């Protein structure tokens, strides 16, 4: 990654665009709230419900047609069975249980997704990977992880940053004799891009104690009826008109003092609207493209422009044509540690509906739904020709799809060495704006926990 210092030239361009955008809100309805929340995913929904419970008025701006972010649920049209094809589970802790209870969702025990008998196959040629299995991380990995407690629930780094954390993961494993954990660590879920290029810092931040408690100890809860999206539907029903779906901020003004507040021009299906709020909570991925409409100053641009998110997609496939007593996972036949080739399908996992699978797809660049599904279909047709018992005449169908791009924004070793994460934390509250998305932690339960810790500061700022 080569960050670009955009500075004042960016501000000039953004200001010019803002003039055109403001025309969309001329004479528009004005919505006045204590807190404006951008993004209705895990963090945004949690913030909205809990701020409202604490007596604050809120409005949520969500660009999609539903709340939930990375949580995606498809309902089988014949049986009505819910099939989650994004987030699969939540960590069992008091924050998660309380949030379930608050939204009248019955928590039940969960487990890592059922994979039936796994088949490991090179999806580029259909050849099986023999004598291969995925072990749990070793005690040596846990010992290494616990050396860096500041990566468990954020990225609050010491100064100077330990240089070993800025090694790539292969370099770190080699230096600290952790190569026996290569397969376990390269198999961590929902990690976009080239796994061999990840810094050790991000491996420990992602494959942290929370995820390991889920994976190894089974500290998992799910909706007892299997529908993880019900949490967000219930939240939407309660928040009602305080949520603007299919809506985007096209221009924003943010003051430097708490009394200045924020003013946002938002396009909605019902036309432009003004939002005037005391504080802004930004929960969408904190990358430059998402923050462009908010009139960033030079300081903000020079921090946010250091980060880029990955390209990741999920979907549902029916009429699969492959034996349904297996899961199918992509692994490289001739790559080190059998790491899968990118771009490509990560895996096909079975669901509670016979013959219906969900899949995840990893890429190096942005792709359209048509591109992802075309490549996924080609992969399935290849597997139909190479897996015993497959039906080569079956034509796959794709009833559901979601882009999770940009996923888990990260930055370079040089930027981390220079103190970029200290600068990120210093942005909390700056220009009446707070950040609670996946810039610092990866999972829904950790997002809820981090948001919960930040709420008192947001409330205090709104009362100045």
Asked if the model's pLDDT at residue 404 lies above 80, the reply is: yes
User: Which tens digit of pLDDT belongs to each residue from 81-139?
Assistant: 999 999 999 999 999 999 999 999 999 987 766 567 999 999 999 999 999 999 999 99
| Residues 231, 103 contacting (CB under 8 angstroms) | yes
Q: pLDDT at position 139, please?
A: 96
What's the pLDDT score for residue 216? 87
Same domain for 426 and 295: yes
Distance, in Å, from the CA atom of 312 to the CA atom of 409, rounded to the nearest integer, reads 12
Residue 403 shares a structural domain with residue 434: no
pLDDT score for 22: 67
Same domain for 301 and 316, yes or no, is no
Query: In angstroms, what CA-CA distances link 244 with 22, 254, 283?
Result: 18, 20, 15
Statement: residue 13 has pLDDT above 80: no
Rounded Cα gap, residues 323 and 320, in angstroms? 8
pLDDT at 1 over 50: no
pLDDT exceeds 90 at position 10: no
Query: Rounded to whole angstroms, how far apart are CA atoms 79 and 77?
Result: 6
pTM for this predicted structure: 0.93
Confirm whether 280 is domain-assigned.
yes
Residue 376: which domain range?
A: 112-137+176-195+204-217+309-407
- CB proximity list for 112: less than 8 A, separation 6 or greater: 88, 89, 214, 215, 220
Q: Are strands 271-282 and 29-38 parallel, antiparallel or unpaired?
A: parallel
* DSSP-assigned states of every residue in 3-23: ----HHHHHHHHHHHHHHHHG
pLDDT (0 to 100) of residue 316: 98
On whether both 423 and 457 belong to a single domain, the answer is yes
Of 16-20, 124-128, 330-334, 383-387, which range is least confident? 16-20
DSSP structure string for 365-408: S---HHHHHHHHHHHHHHHHHHSTT--TT---EEEEEEE-PSEE
The enclosing H or E element of 183 equals helix 182-186
Residues 283, 68 contacting (CB under 8 angstroms): no
On whether residue 252 sits in a domain, the answer given is yes
In the chain the first and final C-alpha atoms are separated, in Å, by 40
- 246 and 130 housed in the same domain: no
pLDDT band at residue 21 using 50, 70 and 90 as cut-offs: low
Residue 1 covered by a domain: no
Domain membership flag for residue 325: yes
Q: Which of 185-194, 406-415, 444-453 has the lowest mean pLDDT?
A: 185-194
DSSP one-letter code for 132? -
- Per-residue DSSP letters for 251-300? EEEE-SSGGG-EEEEEEETTEEEEEEEEEEEE-S---HHHHGGG---HHH
Element (H, E) at 359: strand 357-363
Average pLDDT over residues 3-25: 51
SS3 30: strand
Give the Cα separation of 273 and 245 in Å (integer). Answer: 13
CATH number of the domain enclosing 52:
3.50.50.60
Does 119 lie in the same domain as 211? yes
Please indicate, yes or no, whether residues 233 and 212 belong to a single structural domain of this protein: no
Lowest mean pLDDT among 22-26, 230-234, 244-248, 300-304: 22-26
Same domain flag for 120 and 249: no
Question: Is the Cβ–Cβ distance between 350 and 322 less than 8 Å?
Answer: no
Same domain, 318 and 260: no
Give me the mean pLDDT over the 285-296 stretch. 96
Confidence of residue 8 (pLDDT cuts 50, 70, 90): very low
In a domain, residue 156? The reply is no
- Let me know whether 382 and 454 are in one domain: no
pLDDT at 433 over 70: yes
Dmax (CA) for the chain in angstroms is 68
11-20, 145-154, 200-209, 426-435: which range is least confident on average? Answer: 11-20
């Amino acid at each position: 990654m080569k960050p670009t210092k955009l500075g004042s030239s960016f501000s000039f361009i953004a200001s010019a665009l803002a003039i055109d955008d403001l025309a969309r809100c001329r004479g528009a309805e004005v919505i006045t709230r204590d807190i404006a929340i951008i993004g209705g995913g895990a963090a945004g929904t949690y913030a909205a419900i809990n701020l409202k419970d604490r007596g604050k008025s809120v409005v949520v701006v969500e660009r999609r047609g539903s709340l939930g972010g990375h949580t995606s649920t498809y309902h089988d049209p014949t049986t009505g069975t819910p099939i989650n094809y994004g987030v699969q589970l939540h960590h069992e802790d008091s924050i998660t249980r309380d949030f379930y209870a608050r939204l009248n969702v019955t928590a039940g025990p969960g487990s890592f997704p059922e994979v039936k008998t796994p088949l490991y196959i090179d999806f580029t040629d259909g050849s099986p990977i023999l004598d291969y299995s995925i072990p749990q991380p070793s005690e040596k990995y846990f010992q290494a992880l616990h050396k860096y407690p500041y990566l468990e629930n954020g990225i609050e780094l010491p100064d100077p940053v330990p240089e070993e954390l800025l090694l790539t993961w292969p370099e770190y494993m080699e230096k600290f004799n952790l190569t026996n954990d290569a397969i376990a660590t390269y198999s961590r879920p929902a990690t976009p891009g080239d796994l061999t290029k990840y810094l050790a810092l991000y491996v420990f931040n992602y494959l942290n104690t929370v995820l390991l408690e889920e994976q190894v100890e089974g500290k998992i809860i799910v909706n007892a009826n299997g529908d993880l999206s019900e949490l967000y539907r219930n939240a939407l029903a309660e928040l009602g008109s305080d949520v603007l779906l299919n809506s985007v901020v096209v221009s924003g003004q943010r003051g430097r003092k708490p009394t200045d507040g924020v003013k946002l021009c938002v396009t909605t299906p019902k036309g432009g609207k003004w939002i005037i709020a005391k504080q802004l909570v930004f929960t969408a991925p904190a990358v430059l493209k998402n923050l462009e409409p908010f009139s960033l100053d030079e300081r903000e641009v020079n921090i946010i422009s250091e980060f880029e998110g990955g390209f990741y997609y999920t979907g549902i496939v029916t009429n699969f044509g492959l034996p349904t007593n297996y899961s199918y996972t992509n692994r490289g036949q001739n790559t080190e540690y059998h790491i899968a080739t990118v771009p490509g399908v990560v895996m096909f996992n079975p669901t509670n509906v016979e013959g219906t699978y969900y899949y995840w797809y990893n890429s190096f660049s942005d792709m359209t739904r048509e591109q992802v599904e075309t490549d996924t279909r080609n992969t399935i047709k290849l597997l139909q020709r190479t897996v015993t018992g497959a039906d080569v005449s079956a034509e796959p169908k794709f009833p559901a799809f979601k882009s999770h791009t940009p996923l888990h924004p990260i930055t370079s070793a040089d930027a981390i060495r220079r103190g970029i994460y200290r600068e990120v934390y210093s942005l909390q509250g700056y220009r009446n704006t707070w950040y609670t998305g996946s810039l610092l932690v990866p999972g829904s339960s950790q997002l809820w926990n981090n948001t919960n810790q930040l709420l008192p500061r947001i409330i205090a700022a709104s009362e100045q």
